[in-house]
Amino acid sequence: MNAEQPGKHGPTGRQTQGPEAQPEPEAEEHSGPEPEEGSGPEPEEHSGPEPEERSGAEGERGFEGGEPEGTSTTAGRRTTVRRGTTRGQRSVAGRRTIVDEETAEELPLTREQRAARQPSPPAADRPTAPERPGPGQPQETPHPQERPARPRHPQEPRHRTEPQGPPHPTARRPVAAPSTVTYWMEHAWLETHAEPGVAVDVRDGRIAAVHRGVAVPPPGAEVLRGLTLPGLANAHSHAFHRALRGTVQVGAGTFWTWREIMYSVADRLTPDSYHRLARAVYAEMALAGITAVGEFHYLHHAPGGAPYADANAMGEALLDAAAQAGIRITLLDAAYLSSGFGEPPDQHQQRFSDGSAEAWAERVSLLKDRAHARIGAAVHSVRAVPAEHLGTVAAWARTRGAPLHVHVSEQTAENDACRAAHGRTPVRLLADHGVLGPGTTGVHLTHLTGEDIRLVGDSRTGTCMCPTTERDLADGIGPAAALQQAGSALSLGTDSHAVIDLLEEARALELNERLRTRRRGHWTAAALLRAATADGHAALGWPDSGAIEPGRRADFATVALDSVRTAGPAPRLAAEAAVFAGTTADVRHTVVAGRQVVRDGAHLLVPEVPNALGTAIEALNS
Ligand SMILES: [Zn+2]
């Protein structure tokens, strides 16, 4: 986040493309009706790889997975330890041990196993994580490894070990990412305006050159008709919430009835079923022009809390799912340790908890960035992470330069409970424990005091708004304009996936503010697109995505300008047409790292996405 003072710069100023200054909100501003007592807070709201090289490995098209760290045999017994995975872990008196798969007997840790558990050396003595190649530098090329067949743990996720039988009858052969390709854009969004006739040369997944004034497609160019935007960034997602769509709209109910339904789905997910669901959800995102997702992940262990043999099996399922759907992912691994201020996790929440922030850090440290993925961190909320643990999570993210996200003040009851427990607001509590800062993004920030807004702005903490979820859950309308005025960059997320449509999220930001202030024109279409692209990608740790300019990652989303919704406005108003009238149905093409993932509204890697969604969700309900 840049340190410019709010209000100085024009449309190009990153954080200032917002509305004029807002009056100071009251001490405790509630935008929505008070949720009735006892309906209390604790919202559980409620993620091609640099496809330079494509590989055939079924489950891992083109993406590197964890290499086998080593197979060690102890006293004639076989155990397997893989980087980032330790098998048959079980916590004995809080101490995690290795369990022999056959006899489930606890085995002493071998040196390698102890070494594998050592948190990776601090940032100072290893290349700054992630080792992101700068613009124009060659990309890492993932090489799928032939995996040694190994005994499957009953809960062992299938999708990671062996190919899943013959490819799907209608499976389309993955389109290899051409090392060089030219895209011709009928209209290209160049940060401030829609430029007609632009040819973009892509080399190794990055934009090599942008040529304007190219009236007709050069020979051999891929043609993108409509308005081509930088790929859209979905900065906040809980993939499994997609299984709730429709189901949670029956009857009135409160946030709490919603949460009970959500728990019933969460209780049934396994690494395999979550992989299937997430792959379909991420494919739905690609169809919506989303090229990167911030997956706020807290479903870590088996129901009841027992770790899977692969302690990160659920996270790996999501990373693989994104790879197979062809989009980038930032896995924001959430620490979730308590049910309420001073209350232990309940039976639904036990699978979210690692027991302590140290155990959380130990597990997450086993996950590594990869070509299509960044590993980030999250504090689920001040309710779910006791104050004394907040610093550990924040320090983990800081030392790695990894994004840190946190749900904040989505419901007033959370504010009330926090004041009762700590005598201060959630934002103040987070500030006092070093959680706020340029690498942090607060999600929702719906009910804030004036001081909260100053703390967020002054610390350059980002703000991720999820308007369609916030209205679906009756949270209220957050002070987005005031936060941006205070210096907080805005991003957008579909969160509970009531719908997956970032154009809808973008215009909802403006339309909510119109309802709240009864005035129009708080954000330009350009400013709303910045929140849905560049600032969203930056909040997810992809600062070199989000613009159609040389050196940036070649991620694009093309919106039709001749659809029944977008037809009419002059080409110079293409952004206004797309943002204020376009929907997911108008997204024609999606390109990730130079490779086309969606063409003419069809996903090229995941066949029949509606069917894939239906099947995966049905399997959960059967
Ligand atoms: Zn959320």
Helix (H, G, I), strand (E, B) or coil at 426: helix
Tell me the CA–centroid distance for residue 413 and ligand 1, in Å. Answer: 16
Tell me the CA–centroid distance for residue 137 and ligand 1, in Å. Answer: 35
Position 87 pLDDT exceeds 80 = no
Tell me the CA–centroid distance for residue 205 and ligand 1, in Å. Answer: 31
Catalytic residue numbers read 444, 495
Question: In this structure, is the dihedral angle defined by the CA atoms of residues 498, 499, 501 and 506, taken in order, positive or negative?
Answer: negative
Mean pLDDT of the region 123-129 = 40
Mean pLDDT of the region 257-284 = 95
Extract long-range pairs of 613-616: CB within 8 Å, 24+ residues apart.
613/242, 613/277, 613/280, 613/281, 613/284, 615/276, 615/280, 616/243, 616/273, 616/276, 616/277, 616/279, 616/280
% residues pLDDT > 70 (the chain): 71
**Please, are residues 224 and 214 in contact by the beta-carbon 8 Å criterion?**
no
CA distances from 505 to 297, 335, 384, 494, 526 (A): 21, 27, 27, 7, 14
In whole angstroms, what is the distance from residue 323 CA to residue 321 CA?
Answer: 5
Half-sphere exposure (Cβ direction) of 592: Cα atoms closer than 13 Å: 36
Q: How confident is the model at residue 260 (pLDDT cuts 50, 70, 90)?
A: confident
Pairing of strands 328-335, 290-297: parallel
**Please, are residues 14 and 530 in contact by the beta-carbon 8 Å criterion?**
yes
Q: How confident is the model at residue 176 (pLDDT cuts 50, 70, 90)?
A: low
Tell me the CA–centroid distance for residue 236 and ligand 1, in Å. Answer: 6
In whole angstroms, what is the distance from residue 599 CA to residue 614 CA?
Answer: 22
pLDDT at 175: 52
pLDDT at 466: 98
Position 172 pLDDT exceeds 80 = no
Tell me the CA–centroid distance for residue 235 and ligand 1, in Å. Answer: 10
pLDDT at 31: 44
pTM of the model: 0.77
pLDDT in tens, 5-57: 444 433 334 444 444 444 444 444 444 433 334 443 333 333 333 333 333 44
Q: How confident is the model at residue 495 (pLDDT cuts 50, 70, 90)?
A: very high
Position 267 pLDDT exceeds 50 = yes
Mean pLDDT of the region 266-293 = 98
In whole angstroms, what is the distance from residue 424 CA to residue 448 CA?
Answer: 12
Q: Is the pLDDT higher at 462 or at 136?
A: 462
Mean pLDDT, rounded, of the chain: 81
pLDDT at 178: 64
Q: How confident is the model at residue 151 (pLDDT cuts 50, 70, 90)?
A: very low
Neighbours of 265 (CB within 10 A): 19
**Backbone dihedral region for residue 84 (phi beyond 0: left; psi -120 to 50: alpha; all else: beta):** left
Residues with CB under 5 A from ligand 1 (ion): 45, 495
Strand order across the beta sheet in which 85-86 lies: 70-74, 77-82, 85-86
- Supply φ then ψ for residue 482, to 5 degrees: -65, -35
pLDDT at 177: 60
Position 435 pLDDT exceeds 50 = yes
Question: In this structure, is the dihedral angle defined by the CA atoms of residues 545, 63, 325 and 236, taken in order, positive or negative?
Answer: negative
**Backbone dihedral region for residue 85 (phi beyond 0: left; psi -120 to 50: alpha; all else: beta):** beta
Mean pLDDT of the region 546-573 = 98
pLDDT at 253: 80
Q: How confident is the model at residue 598 (pLDDT cuts 50, 70, 90)?
A: very high
pLDDT at 243: 97
Rounded to 5°, the CA angle 163-165-170 comes to: 110
Residues in the chain, overall count: 622
Closest by alpha carbon to 409, among 431, 438, 377?
431
**Please, are residues 576 and 247 in contact by the beta-carbon 8 Å criterion?**
no
pLDDT in tens, 386-401: 999 999 999 999 999 9
